[in-house]
């Protein structure tokens, strides 16, 4: 396996007045055997960045290195990477075994080695009983495992995943996430995984790159990104429900800088006898917890409550107070984090 280095990577389409820059100087150092998730909303540049690492998109500026070797001008086949796409891209007329073996046959790998590699990948992915089936006889989750198996048998330096779970239903997404985690533990793969789903990002990543409008907003562990968001964008994008960002409160009551945006996670609001007077507008029951959406002046405030607590009534006024050690402050003009989270 190998490390990946991104140095001031940019991407521009067109030229002159018609040019459009979609990536703005992305830099990151990805360690050998690390699982990195690139997460962000549609159109933020995450798939473009992945395709540039793969060699499927030209680099407009900067440097991409894999295993210490600059790959800017190398063809995809020369980069020693394997890619798993959103669509499975399986050959419908071939068996599972032949789909997984096809790339090795083209590379003229000896037949015995092909069988050994395919059998090992099938064992890891629990595909052993399906090797003789055609793709049409498989479920969506099984087809995605075949696509991953096809990448595994190539034994590349780097695995690239481009939203591979998007076509699966909710239950299969959870199951396949667990399989990808198991795969990473067993193979020690260096991987880049692109998703727009922040739950996928939080559960899979060792570290994550949060993208917004072609820029890297934050690069850190899931805990760092969730507990110390670098910007209001990260605070509002990472977390379900997102962080409350309040602009109209007197921040000096909490020791915060004047004129800043106050951030507080829904689980860090307490219901008591004193505090902000917020009126309940909507309640969502989610099994072990409920989300209570309240109106506080001109702003909406979300509160996470355990299911065991009494449910408030619609229209009821709650007294809410934030846990002081869980407050976040952001610059109103730039959206950048101010100071540290205590």
The CATH number of the domain holding residue 176 is 3.40.50.300
Residues 187 and 86 placed together within one structural domain of the fold: yes
Structure confidence at residue 18 (pLDDT) = 86
3-state percent helix, strand, coil for the chain, nearest multiple of 5: 30, 30, 35
Question: What's the pTM value of the predicted model, to 2 decimals?
Answer: 0.89
Structure confidence at residue 341 (pLDDT) = 44
Residues 248 and 227 placed together within one structural domain of the fold: no
The CATH number of the domain holding residue 253 is 2.40.50.140
Residues 256 and 274 placed together within one structural domain of the fold: yes
Cα atoms in the Cβ-side hemisphere of radius 13 Å centred on 174: 2
In Å, how far are 7, 39, 139, 194, 337 from 62, measured between CA atoms? 5, 21, 41, 21, 27
Cα angle 186, 190, 191 (rounded to 5 degrees) comes to 100
Structure confidence at residue 307 (pLDDT) = 87
Structure confidence at residue 340 (pLDDT) = 58
pLDDT tens digits in sequence order for the chain, 342 residues long: 589 999 999 999 988 888 999 999 999 999 999 999 999 999 999 999 999 999 999 999 999 999 999 999 999 989 999 988 877 788 999 999 999 999 899 989 999 999 999 999 898 888 899 999 999 999 888 888 898 888 889 888 999 999 988 877 888 788 888 888 888 888 888 999 999 999 999 999 999 999 999 999 999 999 999 999 999 999 999 998 999 999 877 666 677 788 899 999 999 999 998 889 999 999 999 988 999 999 998 899 999 999 888 899 999 999 999 998 899 999 999 999 997 544
Cα Rg of the chain, angstroms = 24
Residues 225 and 96 placed together within one structural domain of the fold: yes
Q: How many domains does the chain have?
A: 2
Residues 224 and 272 placed together within one structural domain of the fold: no
User: Does a structural domain hold residue 341?
Assistant: no
- 10 Å CB burial of residue 336 (0-12, 13-18, 19+) is exposed
Where a domain ends, among 205, 234, 263?
234
Task: Give the sign of the dihedral formed by CA 286, CA 288, CA 294, CA 300.
Answer: negative
């Amino acid at each position: 396996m190998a490390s990946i280095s991104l140095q001031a990577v940019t991407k521009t389409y067109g030229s002159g007045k018609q040019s459009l820059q979609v990536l703005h100087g992305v830099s990151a150092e990805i360690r050998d055997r690390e699982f990195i998730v690139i997460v962000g909303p549609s159109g933020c540049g995450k798939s473009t960045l992945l395709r540039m690492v793969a060699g499927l998109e030209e680099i407009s500026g900067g440097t991409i290195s894999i295993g210490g070797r600059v790959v800017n001008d190398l063809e995809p086949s020369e980069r020693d990477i394997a890619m798993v796409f959103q669509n499975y891209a399986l050959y419908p007329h071939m068996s599972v075994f032949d789909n997984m073996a096809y790339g090795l046959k083209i590379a003229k790998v000896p037949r015995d080695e092909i069988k050994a590699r395919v059998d090992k990948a099938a064992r890891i992915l629990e595909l052993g009983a399906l090797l003789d089936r055609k793709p049409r006889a498989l479920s969506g989750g099984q087809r995605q495992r075949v696509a991953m198996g096809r990448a595994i048998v190539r034994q590349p330096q780097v695995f690239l995943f481009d939203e591979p779970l998007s076509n699966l239903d909710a239950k299969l997404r959870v199951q396949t996430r667990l399989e990808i985690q198991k795969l990473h533990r067993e193979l020690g793969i260096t991987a880049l995984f692109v998703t727009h789903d922040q739950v996928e990002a939080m559960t899979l990543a060792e570290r994550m790159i949060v993208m917004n409008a072609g820029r890297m907003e934050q690069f850190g562990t899931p805990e760092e990104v969730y507990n110390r968001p670098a910007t209001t964008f990260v605070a509002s994008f990472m977390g379900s429900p997102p962080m409350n960002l309040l602009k109209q409160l007197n921040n000096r009551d909490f020791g915060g800088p004047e004129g800043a945006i106050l951030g507080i996670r829904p689980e860090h609001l307490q219901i008591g006898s004193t505090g902000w007077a917020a009126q309940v507008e909507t309640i969502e029951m989610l099994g072990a917890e409920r989300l209570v959406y309240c109106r506080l002046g001109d702003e909406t405030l979300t509160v996470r409550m355990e299911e065991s607590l009494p449910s408030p009534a619609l229209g009821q006024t709650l007294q809410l107070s934030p846990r002081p050690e869980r407050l976040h402050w952001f610059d109103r003009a730039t959206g950048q984090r101010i100071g540290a989270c205590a």
